[in-house]
Amino acid sequence: MKTFIYTATDVQGNTVKNARMVAEDVNDFLEKIHEKGLFCSSYKESTEKGAKTLHKFTTGELAYNCRQLSAMLTSGLTLVRALDILYKEQEKDNTKQLFREVYEEVQKGSSFSDALRMQQGAFPNFMVSMVQAGESSGSLDVIIRRLEDYYDKQNKLNNKIKGAMMYPIILAILCVAIVIALFTFIMPTFKDLLTEEDMKGLTGALFAFSDSLTGYWYIYVGVVLAAIFIIKYSLKIPDVRYKFDKLLCKMPKIGRLIVKVYTGRFARTLSSLYSSGIPMVEALERSSAILNNTFIEKAFVTVVDEVKQGEQLSVSIQRTGIFESMFCSIIYVGEEAGALDTILEKSAAFYEDESDSAIQRIVGMIEPIMIIIMGVAIGFVIAGILPAIYNSMENIQ
- Per-domain residue ranges for the chain? 2-45, 59-153, 165-397
| Cα gap 289→133, rounded to integer Å | 18
Q: Which CATH architecture has domain 165-397?
A: Up-down Bundle (1.20)
Compute the average pLDDT of residues 183-191: 78
> Region 271-292: what's the mean pLDDT?
84
Let me know if the fold of 59-153 is the same as that of 165-397.
yes
* pTM of the complete model: 0.71
pLDDT at residue 229, as a whole number = 93
For 3-29, what is the mean pLDDT?
73
> Residue 292 in 3-state DSSP?
coil
Per-residue pLDDT tens over the stretch 56-98: 888 888 999 999 999 998 888 899 999 989 888 888 888 888 8
DSSP state of 17: E
Q: What is the mean pLDDT of residues 256-280?
A: 84
Q: Within 10 Å of residue 49's Cβ, how many Cβ atoms?
A: 6
Split at pLDDT 50, 70, 90, the class of 44 is confident
Buried b (16+ CB within 10 A) or exposed e, 126-136: bbbbbbbbbbe
- pLDDT category, 20, cuts 50, 70, 90? low
- Which pLDDT does position 50 carry in this prediction? 44
pLDDT digits (tens, 9 = 90+) for 340-373: 888 888 888 888 788 778 777 877 777 788 788 7
Q: In CATH, what class is 59-153?
A: mainly alpha
Q: How many Å apart are CA 200 and CA 204, to the nearest integer?
A: 5
Q: Residue 46 has what pLDDT?
A: 66
- Residue 314 CA to residue 274 CA, distance in Å, equals 15
Cα–Cα distance for residue pair 23/49, rounded to 1 Å: 16
Distance CA 359, CA 351 (A): 12
The single-letter DSSP state of residue 15 is E
* The predicted structure's pLDDT at residue 166: 83
391/299: higher pLDDT: 299
